[in-house]
Amino acid sequence: MFELREEFGRMKSKMPPKKSNYSDMFMTPDNAINILLPYIKKEWNIWECASGTGNIVKFLREREYNIFGTDIKQGDDFLMSNRSDFNCIITNPPFSLKDKWLEKCYSYGKPFALLLPITALEGLKRTSLYKKNGIQLIIPNRRINFMSPSGKGKGSWFATAWFTFGFNLPNQLNFVELI
């Protein structure tokens, strides 16, 4: 038994260290927003509550959607907010806070679309939220190349989808082509 523990200790020490410089800075490229367009109502007043560099806001404004953006860096913390001047939330939230964002979005009882890793389907808390409130996904046929703060595309090492509520999509899982 001691030999097994010793071997496990050696294996464990070979594991790569966790990254300490992890960032939630994954800006949404146009093609990822484009797949959401068929499901957004023109009359909605849309809140982009993690606007960062403003990619989603700019893209939707150019297509004449009524959208406004806020961000914690501008002093507006979505998780502490109690806004009511919107009909829908569309955002690419910080992945490290996905549980809190989902919970907050559901608390408003209004439509939302959150761009999240597919692994956001997992987890006791999230599963409970989905079972209680419902969830529909828009799943692209390939991974999204998120934008980095430098403006360069960054190939994603994980699959993502739009997790939606209140969009009344045709199916629970909607597979779309990412162009």
Task: Encode pLDDT of 72-122 as tens digits.
Answer: 988 899 999 999 999 999 999 999 999 999 999 999 999 999 999 999 999
- Cα torsion angle, 24, 166, 83, 125, sign: negative
CB 25 within 8 A of CB 148: yes
* Among candidate residues 116, 93, 94, the one with its CA nearest the CA of residue 22: 94
Residue listed under structure tokens 């490229």:
29
Q: Which domains, from first to last, does the chain contain?
A: 21-176 (3.40.50.150)
- Beta strand pairing status for 160-165 and 112-117? antiparallel
Q: Alpha-carbon Rg of the chain, whole angstroms?
A: 18
Q: Give the type of residue at 50.
A: A
Task: Encode pLDDT of 121-169 as tens digits.
Answer: 999 999 999 999 999 999 999 999 887 666 555 567 789 999 999 999 9
Helices and strands per DSSP (H, E), number in the chain: 5, 9
Q: How much is the pLDDT for 73?
A: 87
pLDDT at 17 > cutoff 50: no
Mean pLDDT of 39-60: 96
CB 31 within 8 A of CB 144: yes
- Cα torsion angle, 170, 171, 177, 178, sign: positive
Q: What is the number of other CB atoms lying within 10 angstroms of the CB of residue 167?
A: 19
- Beta strand pairing status for 136-140 and 173-176? parallel
